[in-house]
Amino acid sequence: MTGLRWRIVLAAVVLGVALVYALPSVLPDKGPLSAVLPDKEVNLGLDLKGGVNLILGVDMEKAMHNTLGRMGDELRSESRSNKIIVLSPQVVEDNRLQFILLDTSRADALEDLIDRQYSRQLNIESREVEEDRIRYQLAMTSEYREELHKMTIDQVLKVIRNRINEFGVTEPDIRRLQDNRLQVQLPGLEDAGRAVDLIQKTAHLEFQLVDDEADVNKAEQGVVPPGAELAFLQKRQPDGSYSKQPIVLKKNVLLSGEHITDAQVAFDQFNQPYVALSFDRQGSRIFERVTGENVHERLAIVLDDTVYSAPTIQEKISGGRASITGQFSMEEAHDLAIALRAGSLPAPVDILSERSVGASLGQQSIDQGIRSIVAGGILVLVFMLVYYGIGGLITDILLFLNIVLITAVLAGFGATLTLPGIAGIILLIGMAVDASVLIYERIREELRRGLSPRKAVDEGFSRATLTIVDANVTTIMAAIILYQFGTGPIRGFAVTLSVGVLASMFTAIFVSRIFFDLWLKQRKPGSSLNL
Amino acid sequence: MGLQIIKPDTNIDFMGKRLWAMFASLMVLALGLGAIVLQGGLNYGIDFAGGINIQVKFDRDIQAAEVQEALKSQNMPEIRVQQLGLDQAHEYLLRISAEGAKPEEMRTRVDQALSQSMEGEFSIQRLEMVGPKVGADLKNKALQALFYAVLFISIYISGRFEHKWMTAGIMAAGLLTGLYVLGLLAVPLAYLILAALVITLGLTWYLRLNYALGAVVALIHDVLITVGIFSLLGKEFDLTIVAALLTIMGYSLNDTIVIYDRIRENLRAQKKLPLMQTINQSVNQTLSRTLLTSGTTVLVVLCLMVLGGGVIHDFALALLIGVLVGTYSSIFVAGSMLLGIGPTPEKEPEDEAVQAA
């Protein structure tokens, strides 16, 4: 009984604060209270709110491969301007850059150049002398590999974030995971297909000349003239499907997407959508020169290795504007414009896992969850009331307080409630009475042994407390492990379970003792304890 | 006085029926493990095996075979159709295991196939795709979770049951050393879990931590039987089921702790009585609490199973089996184990008498 008043004050303060934090999540309309109450509410997980959860894998191997390939081209032109002839740079196994030096006497000059320009990025791994040539193999330094790793992930994250932000989803969540992975959460999105397409689009735009002298049929059989490559021109059919028509392009890239400053959807005179591009100053100059030099040739607009259109250049184009026409649908043109504005991905991105829940199923899960909580709750409340009388009533009040505490903690800490989380709350309603049952059964036993009500309550609480703490430690242990290793929804379960177990321990040991002391106090001396 | 289901003077001879209980346990275990062997291992859901799940809700009564037929006509990769939850929900889960199938393409094709060859309305409510990499990762994480659960629980209960934290320390050191050595040998995680269990059993036996030994055996019993029954029912194992298994571990221990505490308390109070009688007495004294707590838990889990919807149904089912088996095992398995090996000998009489309800 010591300090009963203080214990009441403490319990009232804790529960009062809990109520303030719990209310915003429960009240459908806060009305004038909204000025007073905290604005934090329980977050709903995607499985309850509906939406798409994607795990993306960044293809780092491919990023390294691309970078090495680009460095090989740079090295070749760099060498050429130093009068060194380097042949066929290519990326070979184990991510090594291989090329051949034509004149062995220039070996020192070449290695000097590599040392000057690339010592931070590349190491010479091997030199094989073959008659009058030297075959070099270069590998990335480990520092540069790490740097590239980080840069690539940062770039991918930035590009995807830009694209998603323009896509028009409310509160998207994009974050980095371990092992070159990203997680993208798009609440409220029903059709993941478009988002997936947009995210995966590399959006690598290139302008190349069409090699009209080459024989397309021969090229299809694998005979491609030197300096040219086979590509496919995509045409949209009236029924919405696509046809692919082979076309031979000159390999040399005249202009690429990095010079784009803006991309917008526009409409031609037939009301067909197309994407209008604007280049930066340098891009405009290059475009002007390229079109001026190649009048009457065909210029192919290549996006992610697919040729969208290959119009004939009628005249020199100045002003830094171009357009991609390809008989797009409105949505396609819109998404393509976003992708081009947001920049290209430095590495391909794979969808490693996708989980999407329709908003209707989410709402259905919430309804079913609440129904289970109410049904299970009422059954347990009635059972306890019938079985323990006033003691049962106390337990019922505690159960209610538990729910308030759980809601408050979830809201206050911004935790996420998921469907398994709701299941955790339901499970807890069944398990939380355990603490009360342990105490009450012990009190009953002590009463049977002939102890006075006050002594029996004392004994019951003191003997049961340790067991309650111990028995709950195992559940909390399981919950912590689940939190550590589980994915989103399971984490929700771990959170509600452990918060609930702690809440039930607080109410059963601390709050319930207050009720018992009050009960004992106002009871007529000498009457029995109705438990 | 309120109600009483179990009269205070109840004295059921639980230990006398321990052979029957053992027989029953072994039968169910054999059935479950048989089912697992016949199915060629556990039936993994897409979380672990990878693949695509598409949940479809119809507006009328439909047989799974009907859905299967409708999809087959459309030249789709192999799809397994399963009913979700209760009949009146009309919810089905389509599982596509074909490798490299694109989720959004599958959504469109299922949508087309069903709208062409089935009458009535339907909606695609949920789509999940887990690629092989993420599947392998999740499997690894689930195994790790089980591994650490076994590790921490073993250490905790050897300290907790015996109030000998020194011995628990030795136990932990032995366990970690053994596992470290196995870890160096790059033993697969599944075997590490098995090894952790075997080392735990061996150490508790060797260090005469008999309460801990009994609790671990009861724990293994509960998890194996739940897994067995689950396989017997042809249910899939995914992450939520692993979560249920861990919860069951916690619950089963909780029950065992209460009964063992009472046995120890009674042993101290009456040293003369035969062990069998003390155990029986203790189980009977806590019976009312055991049944009440299990009762309310079963009640809420049943509510969840019936009202909670298809997505959470199997999770609730696993919990239900686990709670029932856990209650049974804390009475029969944990008690019988202690009867078989005897309680932990108490050397120091001044050993702090921690008493519990």
Which pair of structure tokens corresponds to residue A291? 């079109």
CB neighbours (10 Å) of residue A247?
A: 21
Q: What is the mean pLDDT of residues A434-438?
A: 89
What does the domain layout of chain B look like in residue ranges? 15-43+135-341, 51-130
Please tell me the least confidently modeled range out of A20-34, B32-46, B290-304: A20-34
CB contact under 8 A, A485 and B141: yes
CB contact under 8 A, B301 and A430: yes
Q: How far apart are CA A21 and CA A30, in angstroms?
A: 13
Please tell me the least confidently modeled range out of A200-204, A283-287, B18-22, B237-241: A200-204
- If you average pLDDT over every residue of chain A, what do you get? 85
User: What separation in angstroms does the CA of A114 have from each of A67, A79, A118?
Assistant: 16, 9, 5
Residues 14-33 of chain A whose Cβ lies under 8 A from any Cβ of chain B: none
Residue (of B1, B17, B3) closest to B288 by Cα position: B3
Phi first, then psi: give them for residue A98, nearest 5 degrees: -115, 140
Is residue A372 within 8 Å of A485, Cβ to Cβ? Answer: no
Q: How far apart are CA B154 and CA A200, in angstroms?
A: 47
Residues 255-294 of chain B whose Cβ lies under 8 A from any Cβ of chain A: 257-258, 261, 285-286, 288-289, 292-293
Candidates A360, A467, A531; nearest CB to B258: A467
Give the confidence band of B346 by pLDDT, cuts at 50, 70, 90.
low
Domain range B15-43+135-341, CATH class: mainly alpha
Pairing of β A349-357 and β A299-303? unpaired
What are A144-161's pLDDT values in tens digits? 888 888 888 888 888 888
> Quick check: B279 pLDDT over 70?
yes
- CA A235 to chain CA mean position, Å: 34
Shortest Cα distance from B86 to chain A (angstroms)?
13
Q: How far apart are CA A2 and CA A475, in angstroms?
A: 32
> What's the pLDDT at B298?
93
Complex ipTM value: 0.86
What are A478-524's pLDDT values in tens digits? 899 989 888 778 888 899 999 999 999 999 989 999 998 888 888 77
Domains located in chain A, CATH noted: 4-50+358-522 (1.20.1640.10), 61-145 (3.30.980), 201-343 (3.30.1360.200)
> What's the pLDDT at A158?
86
Q: Residue B59 burial (CB < 10 Å; 0-12/13-18/19+)?
A: exposed
> Quick check: A237 pLDDT over 80?
no
Q: How far apart are CA B210 and CA A53, in angstroms?
A: 48
Q: How far apart are CA A186 and CA A196, in angstroms?
A: 11
Residues 329-388 of chain A whose Cβ lies under 8 A from any Cβ of chain B: 350-358, 360-361, 364-365, 368-369, 371-372, 375-377, 379-380, 383-384, 386-388
> What's the pLDDT at B31?
92
Which pair of structure tokens corresponds to residue B327? 């209650």
Which pair of structure tokens corresponds to residue A414? 């911004």
Q: At what angle do helices A359-388 and A390-412 cross, to 10 degrees?
A: 150
3-state secondary structure of B101: coil
Pairing of β A43-44 and β A416-417? parallel
CB contact under 8 A, A471 and B258: yes
Give the confidence band of B254 by pLDDT, cuts at 50, 70, 90.
confident
Which pair of structure tokens corresponds to residue A316? 């020199």
> What's the pLDDT at B349?
44
A192 lies within 8 A of chain B by CB: yes
> Quick check: A400 pLDDT over 50?
yes
> Quick check: B355 pLDDT over 70?
no
> Quick check: B350 pLDDT over 50?
no
Q: What is the mean pLDDT of residues B249-268?
A: 87
3-state secondary structure of A324: strand
Instruction: Identify the residue among B261, B293, B301 best suited for mutation to test binding to A, counting A beta carbons within 10 A and taking the highest.
Output: B293
Candidates B239, B243, B304; nearest CB to A372: B304
Give the confidence band of A379 by pLDDT, cuts at 50, 70, 90.
very high
Candidates B128, B261, B303; nearest CB to A355: B128
Is residue A427 within 8 Å of B300, Cβ to Cβ? Answer: yes
Residues 180-199 of chain B whose Cβ lies under 8 A from any Cβ of chain A: none
User: How are the residues of chain B apportioned to helix, strand and coil, as percentages rounded to the nearest 5?
Assistant: 70, 10, 25
Give the confidence band of B325 by pLDDT, cuts at 50, 70, 90.
very high
Is residue A11 within 8 Å of A511, Cβ to Cβ? Answer: yes
The dotted CATH code for B51-130 is 3.30.70.100
Give the confidence band of B1 by pLDDT, cuts at 50, 70, 90.
low
Residue (of B29, B204, B34, B59) closest to B122 by Cα position: B59
Q: How far apart are CA B101 and CA B129, in angstroms?
A: 9
User: What separation in angstroms does the CA of B282 have from each of A387, B162, B336?
Assistant: 22, 18, 13
Q: Residue A412 burial (CB < 10 Å; 0-12/13-18/19+)?
A: middle
Which pair of structure tokens corresponds to residue B315? 């999770």
Long-range contacts of B12-17 (CB under 8 A, 24+ apart): B12/B280, B12/B283, B12/B284, B12/B287, B13/B280, B14/B279, B14/B280, B14/B283, B14/B284, B14/B331, B14/B332, B14/B335, B15/B276, B15/B279, B15/B280, B15/B283, B15/B335, B15/B336, B15/B339, B16/B276, B16/B280, B17/B332
Residue (of B121, B337, B288) closest to A439 by Cα position: B288
What are A121-139's pLDDT values in tens digits? 888 888 888 888 888 888 8
> What's the pLDDT at A255?
80
> Quick check: A30 pLDDT over 70?
no
Q: What is the mean pLDDT of residues A53-68?
A: 87
CB contact under 8 A, B257 and A474: yes
Q: How far apart are CA A25 and CA A409, in angstroms?
A: 11
Which pair of structure tokens corresponds to residue A63? 């990023």
> Quick check: B286 pLDDT over 70?
yes
What are B132-173's pLDDT values in tens digits? 888 888 888 888 888 888 888 878 877 777 667 777 788 788
Q: How far apart are CA A394 and CA A388, in angstroms?
A: 9
Which pair of structure tokens corresponds to residue B355? 């008493």
Please tell me the least confidently modeled range out of A77-81, A492-496, B28-32, B250-254: A77-81
Shortest Cα distance from B299 to chain A (angstroms)?
7
3-state secondary structure of B212: helix
- C-alpha torsion angle, residues A394, A398, A399, A402 (rounded to 10): 180
**Spatial CB neighbours of A330, under 8 Å, sequence gap ≥ 6:** A265, A273
Q: How far apart are CA B223 and CA B194, in angstroms?
A: 13
Q: How far apart are CA B248 and CA B324, in angstroms?
A: 10
Please tell me the least confidently modeled range out of A258-262, A397-401, A404-408: A258-262
Is residue A498 within 8 Å of A476, Cβ to Cβ? Answer: yes
> Quick check: B4 pLDDT over 80?
no
Q: How far apart are CA B152 and CA B172, in angstroms?
A: 9
Q: How far apart are CA A127 and CA A321, in angstroms?
A: 47
Task: List, in sequence order, the alpha helices (H) in A276-358.
Answer: 281-293, 330-342
3-state secondary structure of A391: helix
Tell whether pTM > 0.95: no
Is residue A169 within 8 Å of A186, Cβ to Cβ? Answer: yes
Candidates B130, B257, B307; nearest CB to A375: B307
What are A288-342's pLDDT values in tens digits? 888 888 888 888 888 877 888 888 888 888 888 888 777 778 887 888 787 777 7
CB neighbours (10 Å) of residue A107?
A: 15
A88-97, A293-302, B27-36, range with greatest mean pLDDT: B27-36
Q: What is the mean pLDDT of residues A415-440?
A: 89
Q: What is the mean pLDDT of residues A363-390?
A: 91
Degrees to nearest 5, angle at CA A248 with A247 and A249:
120
3-state secondary structure of A207: strand
